[in-house]
């Protein structure tokens, strides 16, 4: 209970600290007329209260408030990110299993897997989304593919490391009992790699949200947080609070994905054999 109370108290304290840093930097920047790294004014750094107030303001007269608009767009993006996250996690896991059982494939393919992540995602997203669109594929599928592209790499690399983490003596013991590669995989390698897998999933969870948002930009979808960012960016000079509110929702969506993986990690690893010894 004391630990839970301390964690519950840290959240409002952290938010208060961020609010104080934001307002303090804003006050000093305007007073001292700072221009580096950017000009501090009401457009570039609106009051936190102004951003919070924007959530309750309608985009159109007699229309729903901004929070309703962003909620529906967050659900739209969340579905695409979830699909891409699941697809990328499966691909990354299967790829790691194949590479773990073949030294030749590991030495031959691993450099290309690493190089694939050096290509800017902004260059790949239009090619994937537009290319799939010409084949009659729903643009949302292309967005999910972009999310999967950012997801599979951390999962593949960390899972590969986890599959090689078991003690060599444990491997020899399994082989002495005539265990085949599949039994060694599921009874020894995969359980040993679970901490590595969940570490990768926590990284990939937020990356999938970023990939979905970036993929929505060239997809010309009439929905999603990427669409909202592009839309509010056009009116940033007159209504900057709307764009900042959208950024906050994007961050909250990524945090939600991350927390779900944290909960799953605790549920799965809590049932690991070492906790029952």
Residue 227 counted as domain residue = yes
Number of separate domains in the chain: 1
Q: Is the pLDDT of residue 67 over 80?
A: yes
Residue 34 counted as domain residue = no
Q: Supply the CATH number for residue 178's domain.
A: 1.10.3720.10
Residue 46 counted as domain residue = no
> 2-16, 44-58, 97-111, 207-221: which range is least confident on average?
2-16
Averaged confidence pLDDT in the chain:
91
DSSP codes joined into one string, the chain = -HHHHHHHHHHHHHHHHHHHHHHHHHHHHHHHT--SSS--STTTS--HHHHHHHTTSBSSTT--BHHHHHHHHHHHHHHHHHHHHHHHHHHHHHHHHHHHT-HHHHHHHHHHHHHHTTS-HHHHHHHHHHHHHHTT--HHHHHHHHHHHHHHHHHHHHHHHHHT-S-HHHHHHHHHTT--HHHHIIIIIHHHHHHHHHHHHHHHHHHHHHHHHHHHHHHT-SSSHHHHHHHHHTTTTT-HHHHHHHHHHHHHHHHHHHHHHHHHHHHHHTTSGGG--
Residue 240 counted as domain residue = yes
Residue 4 counted as domain residue = no
**Res 265: pLDDT:** 94
Domain membership of residue 232 as a residue range: 68-275
Residue 186 counted as domain residue = yes
Residue 127 counted as domain residue = yes
**Res 89: pLDDT:** 97
Residue 75 counted as domain residue = yes
Greater pLDDT, 177 or 274: 177
């Amino acid at each position: 209970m004391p630990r839970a109370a301390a964690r519950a108290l840290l959240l409002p304290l952290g938010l208060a600290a961020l609010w104080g840093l934001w307002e303090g930097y804003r006050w000093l920047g305007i007073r001292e007329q700072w221009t580096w790294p950017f000009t501090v004014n009401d457009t570039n750094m609106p009051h936190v209260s102004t951003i919070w107030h924007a959530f309750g303001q309608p985009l159109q007269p007699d229309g729903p408030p901004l929070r309703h608009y962003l909620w529906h767009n967050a659900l739209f993006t969340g579905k695409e990110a979830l699909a891409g996250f699941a697809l990328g996690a499966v691909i990354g896991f299967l790829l790691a299993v194949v590479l773990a059982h073949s030294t030749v494939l590991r030495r031959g393919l691993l450099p290309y897997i690493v190089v694939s992540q050096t290509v800017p995602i902004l260059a790949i997203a239009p090619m994937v989304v537009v290319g799939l669109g010409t084949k009659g594929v729903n643009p949302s599928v292309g967005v999910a593919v972009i999310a999967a592209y950012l997801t599979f790499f951390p999962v593949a690399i960390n899972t590969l490391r986890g599959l090689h983490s078991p003690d060599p003596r444990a491997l020899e013991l399994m082989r002495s009992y005539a265990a085949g590669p599949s039994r060694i995989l599921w009874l020894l390698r995969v359980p040993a790699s679970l901490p590595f897998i969940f570490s990768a999933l926590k990284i990939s969870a937020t990356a999938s949200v970023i990939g979905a948002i970036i993929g929505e930009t060239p997809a010309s979808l009439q929905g999603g947080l990427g669409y909202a960012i592009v839309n509010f960016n056009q009116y940033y000079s007159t209504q900057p609070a709307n764009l900042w509110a959208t950024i906050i929702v994007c961050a909250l969506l990524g945090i939600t994905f991350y927390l779900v993986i944290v909960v799953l990690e605790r549920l799965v690893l809590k049932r690991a054999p070492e906790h029952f010894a």
